[in-house]
Structure 1
Amino acid sequence: MFRRDFISIFLVILLSVLSAAEFPSDLKKCKSDDSDCHKEVLQEVIDKFHKKGHRSLNLIAFDPLEVKSLVLPKVAGSPVNIELKFVDIVLTGISKVKLHKLSGLKEDGKNKYIYEVEASFPKIELNGPYSVNGQVLVLPITGKGNSKIIFENVAAKIKGKCSLVERDGKMYLNVDKIHIDLEPKSTHFDFANLFNGDKALGENMNKFLNENWVEVYKELKPVISEAIGKILLTIANGVYSKHAYADIFLPA
């Protein structure tokens, strides 16, 4: 599956922004439930630091973002029953995100919290080597070469569930679960060297994929979302485990 995150995405940036024990002086610090403050700071971080990152926030550069590997396994009974592997791919377009709604931490029971993000991307593009084998709808597909996938006008919704845990006399925030929903208005596939370089078959398959992108994306979406969620959860907890809750947020 993912070795590094696929869209390290604005959520990773959000979690980094909210979790610096020594908050950098060039950024505002927010109360945990201050939605407007979180949105303002996160948008600023995305706009300013997407190329070089921000060391004080433990934020890596994220546009372009290199992804070591991504594997979408075959799913028995699925109309899109393929094994699709990507290695050393590059993801671009994350820095163009526009935040529309961002909640602060909201209580969801004793020591339980949820947060939500709504945003949109004009375009997210993935480029790099691929290999594929299987069947798409009624047609077999095989190939290995370079690929380009473009997701346009992507609506994004992210929801996380968190809890407070005590360690060494301090309370720490732990992200228990992350759910991600990505809905593009259109998707364009371009796989080079399909069917061992047969130009006619390759062009016809790319055309078929693009004509049926809704069905193709529908089948791939759960696997992509789950993989992204697991990676973001791991990254988030890596950050939160080092900073006590009281060091992250302004007093309410």
Structure 2
Amino acid sequence: MAVGNTLVSFLFLFIAVAHLAEASLPDYIKACSASDPKFNDCAFETARASMRKFAKGDKERDIPVLDPLHVKEIKAIGGKNGEGLSVIFTDCKLTGCEKLDLIKFKIDIAKKRIVGKAVGNLVLDAIYDISGRILIIPLTGHGNAYVDLRDCKFTYIFDFDYVNGTDGKQYLTIVKDTLKYDIGKASFKLENLFNGDKILGETTNRLLNDSWKEVINEVGPPVAESLKTAFRSTIQKFLDSASVDELLLP
């Protein structure tokens, strides 16, 4: 009888532990089998379905909200020695991450690399401070900025490694990451250019929109860097909350 009770207790304990391990993953994440020939198909579908959940944040896992993404400051100092177009954006609010559409997601376990590609539109609202030149036109101004980025293509690549957690389990950690981007079209609206000169302001905004590629060459990299920092922080927080055994089934 004692042996029977012990066996029953063990089975209940085993079921409870298995249930807890399964429950440690959020309901929007599906574990995939690394030995499954369609492993990357499973990973893609899971990542695609979970993107909007990630954008909304997950308080239980300390994952911050990505949409809107708030950034204190974005600096774009163009040209050598500060020559060219220089813009400082403050109190930045970037919206659109929630609606990005994931079109590729591939995990290479042997190379310890993950590649994700997404497309969509982003909008930046901020306070701007601008000086310098665009083409041959001098610019100066401070006020509200609205930047509309259309048909964006993002490729986020990160290399990972395995680390041992305090619980004895293995976890993934990001060791290197890059964010590549291509903007299909950009439009700008900067208020209060030239201390509120309406004619100069409207003319300059038209020039900025006509020369949007040149402007993006200046302001694109720091905006992308802010996005990359947010992506990395969000993904790492999630990876810290789920062990390799939970994410990758045999």
Question: TM-score band, normalised by the shorter chain?
Answer: 0.7 to 0.9
Point out where structure 1 has 5 or more consecutive residues left out of the alignment: 1-19
Of residues 145, 150, 173, the one that matches 2:148 is 150
* CA–CA distance in structure 1, aligned partners of residues 184 and 76 of structure 2: 22
Counterpart residue identity of residue 135, structure 2: L
Task: Answer whether contact 1:131 1:143 (CA < 8 A) is retained.
Answer: yes
Task: Answer whether contact 1:177 1:233 (CA < 8 A) is retained.
Answer: no
Point out where structure 2 has 5 or more consecutive residues left out of the alignment: 1-21
Structure having the higher Rg: 2
Q: Normalized against structure 1, the TM-score is what?
A: 0.76
Of residues 62, 87, 102, the one that matches 2:66 is 62
Task: Answer whether contact 1:23 1:56 (CA < 8 A) is retained.
Answer: no
Matching of residues 51-200 of structure 1 within 5 Å: 51=56, 53-76=57-80, 81-108=84-111, 113-121=112-120, 123-166=121-164, 169-200=168-199
Question: Quick one: percent identity of the two aligned structures?
Answer: 27
* CA–CA distance in structure 1, aligned partners of residues 239 and 163 of structure 2: 11
How far apart are 1:204 and its partner, in Å? 1.4
- Over residues 172-202 of structure 1, what are the superposed CA-to-partner deviations in whole Å (9 max), with x where a residue is unaligned? 3221111111212100011000111111111
Counterpart residue identity of residue 49, structure 2: E
Task: Answer whether contact 2:61 2:237 (CA < 8 A) is retained.
Answer: no
Tell me the residue number matched to 1:8.
Answer: none
SS state of the match for residue 104, structure 1? strand
Runs of 4+ residues deviating >6 angstroms = none
Q: Normalized against structure 2, the TM-score is what?
A: 0.77
Q: Going by fraction, where is helix more abundant, 1 or 2?
A: 2
Task: Answer whether contact 2:24 2:242 (CA < 8 A) is retained.
Answer: no
Aligned residues: 225
RMSD over aligned Cα, in angstroms? 2.8
Structure showing greater relative contact order (alpha-carbon pairs closer than 8 Å, 6 or more residues apart):
1
How far apart are 1:69 and its partner, in Å? 2.2
Tell me the residue number matched to 2:49.
Answer: 44
